[in-house]
């Protein structure tokens, strides 16, 4: 046995054994290995149970056949109690298949009595494995908690962004929209009250600029708060596809059922923003000649698939430190109980697939009407 166990505080060992002679043998072996230990022997199930209740042990050593029960019954009892102390089966003649079956039930190790010389090492290994397992569980829990915090933060950030967008859209509508409407009113008043040619010429130019400003504010508002979503997700996605085709001259087809299952606002907005970001990415990077968008609500899952036949995405593209588009979509999908898959083949194109099962209990059914 190495220094590890020798330097450790005294090991508490519980020995399930009906033969006093075998118990002495085990003690001798442990002493020989240099371990510091205290060992308690019990022979009955009841004794085993009550001793476990009283004392914490570092390891249990158990003979296989005991009066009226076997080590596996004892192991089961420990499992039922939620007691996870390492459990080593120490026995002669149970046969290899019984030993394998025992290990498969989750006991830590099996040592035939004729190999008793290895006891120290086997005990040490079982305790070490147990310690590693516990540490791993703590690390896993820490990781899960940290992922949860990150995901909550992303959700909060997303909601804040949508609220900000709504507020900005409202200001553009009320302030800029209001002012532009007033300017139009005044321009038309002036045009009715003048016959001066050069004034009319300037009025024409002012009206053109005004139309341009109105279009721009409409467009900006639409991007900030997709009012088109009020007409449903299908209409909104078609509107996005049309705009994309007009801007890029790349045909984009939308396939969808006539109408979709009633979807919470938060889900619609997630799907909308996914299509929007996917199309933006396509226009920036894909260099494709064709885009297909498919919406479906079959089998209680909303799926939205945006496929291009362009260059495809490298794994390292997705890992770019400063790229948050697709990462953000993944987080966003998660906040409504869904997920996002990216499937791509270099030179063949890319598919972005959003899936959101219906009626995820954590979603507020009608959303918060953020946008």
Q: Which residues bind Mg ion (CB under 5 A)?
A: 281, 325
Q: Least distance (Å) from ligand ADP to the CB of residue 227? A: 24
CA distance 357 to 249: 34
From 25-33, 77-85, 237-245, 313-321, span contacting ligand ADP (CB under 6 A):
313-321
Q: Least distance (Å) from ligand ADP to the CB of residue 318? A: 6
Q: Least distance (Å) from ligand ADP to the CB of residue 331? A: 12
331 lines the binding site for ligand ADP (CB under 6 A): no
293 lines the binding site for ligand ADP (CB under 6 A): no
70 lines the binding site for ligand ADP (CB under 6 A): no
Q: CB-wise, 33 or 276, nearer to ligand ADP?
A: 276
Q: CB-wise, 93 or 157, nearer to ligand ADP?
A: 157
Residue linked to tokens 């230990």: 37
274 lines the binding site for ligand ADP (CB under 6 A): no
14 lines the binding site for ligand ADP (CB under 6 A): no
313 lines the binding site for ligand ADP (CB under 6 A): yes
333 lines the binding site for ligand ADP (CB under 6 A): no
State the binding string over 212-251 for ligand ADP (x if CB under 6 A, else -). ----------------------------------------
From 25-33, 252-260, 263-271, 325-333, span contacting ligand ADP (CB under 6 A):
325-333
350 lines the binding site for ligand ADP (CB under 6 A): yes
Quick check: 341 and 353 in contact, CB under 8 A? yes
From 163-171, 183-191, 232-240, 306-314, span contacting ligand ADP (CB under 6 A):
306-314
CA distance 294 to 238: 10
Interface residue with ligand ADP among 45, 206, 227, 311 (CB under 6 A) is: 311
343 lines the binding site for ligand ADP (CB under 6 A): no
Give the CB-nearest residue to ligand ADP: 325
Q: How many helices (H) and strands (E) does the chain have?
A: 12, 12
User: Alpha carbon of 65 to those of 16, 95, 324: distances in Å?
Assistant: 10, 12, 61
**For residue 337, what is the DSSP state?**
T
Quick check: 136 and 144 in contact, CB under 8 A? no
Q: Least distance (Å) from ligand ADP to the CB of residue 311? A: 5
Interface residue with ligand ADP among 111, 282, 333, 336 (CB under 6 A) is: 282
User: What is the 3 state secondary structure string of 144-159?
Assistant: HHHHHHHHHHHHHHHH
Where are any strands of DSSP class E within the chain?
A: 11-16, 37-42, 59-62, 65-66, 69-70, 87-91, 109-112, 252-255, 291-296, 301-308, 339-345, 349-357
Q: Least distance (Å) from ligand ADP to the CB of residue 120? A: 55
CA–chain centroid gap for 189, Å, is 60
Q: CB-wise, 33 or 281, nearer to ligand ADP?
A: 281
CA distance 310 to 206: 42
Q: Which two tokens stand for residue 154?
A: 């992303």
Quick check: 10 and 30 in contact, CB under 8 A? no
Query: How many CB atoms lie under 10 A from the CB of residue 200?
Result: 12
| 67: CB partners within 8 A, 6+ apart | 18, 43, 44
Residue linked to tokens 């945006």: 306
Q: Least distance (Å) from Mg ion to the CB of residue 288? A: 15
Residues that bind ligand ADP (CB under 6 A): 281-282, 285-286, 308, 310-313, 317-318, 320, 323, 325-327, 350
């Amino acid at each position: 046995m190495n220094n590890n166990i020798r330097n450790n505080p005294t090991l508490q060992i519980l020995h399930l054994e009906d033969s006093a002679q075998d118990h002495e043998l085990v003690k001798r072996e442990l002493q020989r290995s240099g371990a510091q230990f205290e060992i308690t022997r019990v022979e009955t199930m009841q004794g085993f149970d009550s001793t476990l209740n009283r004392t914490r042990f570092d390891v249990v050593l158990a003979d296989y056949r005991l009066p009226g029960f076997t080590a596996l019954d004892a192991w089961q009892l420990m499992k039922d109690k939620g007691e996870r102390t390492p459990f080593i089966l120490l026995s002669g003649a149970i046969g290899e298949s019984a030993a394998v079956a025992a290990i498969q039930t989750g006991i830590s190790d099996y040592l035939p009595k004729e190999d008793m010389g290895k006891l120290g090492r086997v005990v040490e290994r079982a305790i070490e494995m147990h310690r590693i397992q516990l540490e791993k569980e703590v690390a896993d829990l820490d990781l899960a908690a940290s992922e949860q915090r990150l995901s909550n933060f992303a959700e909060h950030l997303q909601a804040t962004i949508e609220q900000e967008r709504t507020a900005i859209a409202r200001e553009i509508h009320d302030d800029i929209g209001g002012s532009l409407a007033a300017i139009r009113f005044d321009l038309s008043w002036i045009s009715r009250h003048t016959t001066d040619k050069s004034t009319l010429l300037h009025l024409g130019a002012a009206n053109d600029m005004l139309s341009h400003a109105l279009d721009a504010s409409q467009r900006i508002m639409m991007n900030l708060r997709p009012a088109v979503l009020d007409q449903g997700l299908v209409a909104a996605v078609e509107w996005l596809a049309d705009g994309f085709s007009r801007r890029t001259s790349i045909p984009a087809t939308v396939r969808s059922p006539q109408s979709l299952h009633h979807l919470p606002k938060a889900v619609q907005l997630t799907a909308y923003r996914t299509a929007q970001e996917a199309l933006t990415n396509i226009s920036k990077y894909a260099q494709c000649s064709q885009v297909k968008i498919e919406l479906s609500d079959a089998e209680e899952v909303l799926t939205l698939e945006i496929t291009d036949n362009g260059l495809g995405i490298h794994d390292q593209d997705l890992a770019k430190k400063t790229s948050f588009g697709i990462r953000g979509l993944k987080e966003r999908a998660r906040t409504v109980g869904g997920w996002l898959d990216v499937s791509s083949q270099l030179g063949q194109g890319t598919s972005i697939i959003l899936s959101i099962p219906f009626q995820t209990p954590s979603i507020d059914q009608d959303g918060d009407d953020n946008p």
